[in-house]
Amino acid sequence: MEKKKETMPPGRQVVMSGIRPTGFLHLGNYFGAIQNYVKMQDDFECYFMVADLHSLTTHPDTKELKQNVLRVLAENIACGLDPEKAAFYCQSHVHETAELYLYLNMMAYKGELEKTTTFKDKVRQHPQNVNAGLLTYPVLQAADIVIHRAKYVPVGKDQEQHLEMARTFANRFNHRYGEVLPEPTAFNYNRQLIKVPSLDGTGKMSKSENPNATIYLADEDDVIRKKVMKTKTDAGPTQQNSVKPDYIDNIFGLMKLVSVNDVVAKFEDDYNACTIRYGDMKKQLAEDMVNFIAPIRNKVNDILNNEKYLKEVMEKGAAKANASANATMKLVRQAMGLNYY
Q: What is the C-alpha to C-alpha distance for residues 156 and 145, in angstroms, rounded to an integer?
A: 15
Q: What is the C-alpha to C-alpha distance for residues 170 and 203, in angstroms, rounded to an integer?
A: 35
Q: What is the C-alpha to C-alpha distance for residues 38 and 86, in angstroms, rounded to an integer?
A: 9
Q: What is the C-alpha to C-alpha distance for residues 320 and 305, in angstroms, rounded to an integer?
A: 25
H or E element at residue 19: strand 14-19
Q: Report the nearest approach of ligand TRP to the CB of residue 108 (Å).
A: 15
**Contacts of 62 by beta carbon, 8 Å cutoff, 6+ apart:** 56
Looking at the Cβ atoms of 51 and 254, the one nearer to ligand TRP is: 51
Catalytic residue among 3, 85, 207, 244: 207
Q: Report the nearest approach of ligand TRP to the CB of residue 282 (Å).
A: 32
Note whether 318 binds ligand TRP by CB under 6 A: no
Q: Report the nearest approach of ligand TRP to the CB of residue 75 (Å).
A: 15
Looking at the Cβ atoms of 187 and 271, the one nearer to ligand TRP is: 187
Note whether 141 binds ligand TRP by CB under 6 A: yes
Near ligand TRP by CB under 6 A: residue from 8, 13, 20, 31 = 20
Note whether 17 binds ligand TRP by CB under 6 A: yes
H or E element at residue 155: none
320 is catalytic: no
Q: Report the nearest approach of ligand TRP to the CB of residue 20 (Å).
A: 5
Near ligand TRP by CB under 6 A: residue from 155, 264, 303, 318 = 155
Q: What is the C-alpha to C-alpha distance for residues 326 and 340, in angstroms, rounded to an integer?
A: 17
Near ligand TRP by CB under 6 A: residue from 25, 45, 48, 54 = 54
Q: Report the nearest approach of ligand TRP to the CB of residue 118 (Å).
A: 8
Looking at the Cβ atoms of 63 and 157, the one nearer to ligand TRP is: 157
Near ligand TRP by CB under 6 A: residue from 45, 52, 96, 144 = 144
- Nearest residue relative to ligand TRP (C-beta): 18
The residue type found at 258 is V
Total number of residues binding ligand TRP (CB under 6 A)? 13
Looking at the Cβ atoms of 50 and 258, the one nearer to ligand TRP is: 50
Looking at the Cβ atoms of 231 and 322, the one nearer to ligand TRP is: 322
Tell me 195's DSSP state: P
Q: Report the nearest approach of ligand TRP to the CB of residue 208 (Å).
A: 12
311 is catalytic: no
Give whole-number Cα distances, 106 to 103, 115, 173, 296, 299, in Å. 6, 17, 10, 44, 44
Note whether 16 binds ligand TRP by CB under 6 A: yes
H or E element at residue 17: strand 14-19
195 is catalytic: no
Q: What is the C-alpha to C-alpha distance for residues 232 and 126, in angstroms, rounded to an integer?
A: 34
Return the range that interacts with ligand TRP (CB under 6 A); candidates 119-127, 153-161, 168-176, 321-329: 153-161
Q: Report the nearest approach of ligand TRP to the CB of residue 47 (Å).
A: 9
Strands 14-19 and 45-50: parallel
Note whether 181 binds ligand TRP by CB under 6 A: no
Looking at the Cβ atoms of 162 and 225, the one nearer to ligand TRP is: 162
Report the sign of the C-alpha dihedral through residues 199, 200, 205, 207, in that order. negative
Note whether 293 binds ligand TRP by CB under 6 A: no
β-sheet with 152-153: strand ranges across: 87-90, 45-50, 14-19, 152-153, 185-186
Task: Kindly tell me the burial class for residue 123, based on how many C-beta atoms sit within 10 Å of its own C-beta (0-12, 13-18, 19 or more).
Answer: middle
Do residues 153 and 187 touch, judged by C-beta distance below 8 A? yes
Q: Which residues bind ligand TRP (CB under 6 A)?
A: 16-18, 20, 51, 54, 141, 144-145, 153, 155, 159, 162
Active-site residue numbers? 122, 204, 207
